[in-house]
Every structure is written in structure tokens, then in C-alpha cells.
Structure 1
Amino acid sequence: MDSYPAIAFGIDLHLTPTAEGGRSAPLLNLADKTWVYRPNWGLPSMTPLDQNGALVFAFSRDRVGPGERTHAVIVTLFPEMVDQWNCSD
């Protein structure tokens, strides 16, 4: 198996409420479903068009409903993005 550089960040994640265009079903933190959810995010230097998705490795709660907040761990989607993430504060 090849190895690639990666960076993981611990973040505070806020799901958009359903009434504001967010999802209608909760996210479930299941052991066999890691890496499934990819929230939109951006580094402070990015413009909205530069925003990307990052895979969520884990949530701090078992169930996260629309409009709720949780802690999450996200990781780089592509190895070539690691340098951009290294520049963030």
C-alpha cells in the first residue's frame, strides 16, 4: 500500500438547519461509516470559489441533527492539498 502525506484538524462543525437549506436527516457516527460525510470548508485565505470538501473521520457525538453543533476530525482529501493546509493558522 502506498503512503501519502495527510493532515487532520479538529474542528467545531455546525450543520445548517433544514429550514435554511441544510440536510433533513441527522448524521450518525457509525464505526462502519467513517469517511462518508464531507462538509464544505475553506481556509481563511480562500475565497468561496476555492472552498473544498474534507472527509470527516469522526464526530464527538453519535447523532448530529440539522442545526446542531459537534466537534469533528477532518482530513485532507488529496495529498497535494497538504501544503495549503500547512499554511493555515
Structure 2
Amino acid sequence: MTTTEQIAREAVRRVLGDAAHADVTTFPGGNLSISVHSGDHTATIDGDDSSGWGWTVDPGTDDGFTGHEDVAATLDDALIGIRGRFGA
């Protein structure tokens, strides 16, 4: 299964709840960049199903090009990790 923009939005809603808002960008190669906002927190997730998902919670302004703090094999695993950091 390939994670599409719609599948990513549904996963964010399912794992983080209706209060979470996701902005999803799909790139020509099929990888996604997802920005999730919930309450006072923000997370960024980048990746695809074949290479995995890198994610960072509450990135600093100087973190834009330094990569991600954490990596997960699946988008759901990344979202579960984010949920733990959001305190949800």
C-alpha cells in the first residue's frame, strides 16, 4: 500500500484525534512531507512506505535542514511516537 495524501490525513486523525490538523505535501517521487499541529505542538514527518518516516516534534527554527530526531518504519509508528510527545 502506498500512503497517499488522503491516507496520511486519515492516519493523523485516527492516531492524534480530531483536534490535530495536517498539512500534507506530496512530491513527484511519492514521498510525503507532513506538518501536524495540535494545541501548542507541531510535528514534521517526512518519508514514504519504502524508506520509512523521519519525524521531529516542536522543531526549532534552526532545525529546518538538519534532519529528524526520530525514525519509524511506518507512518502509524511515527504518529504514535508523536502522540506520546504531544502528551495526548
- Identify whether the pair has TM-score above 0.5, normalized to the shorter chain: no
Which structure has the larger Rg over C-alpha atoms?
1
Higher relative contact order (CA 8 A, sep 6+): 1
TM normalised by structure 1 equals 0.27
Q: TM-score, normalised by structure 2?
A: 0.27
Between Structure 1 and Structure 2, the one with more helix by share is: 2
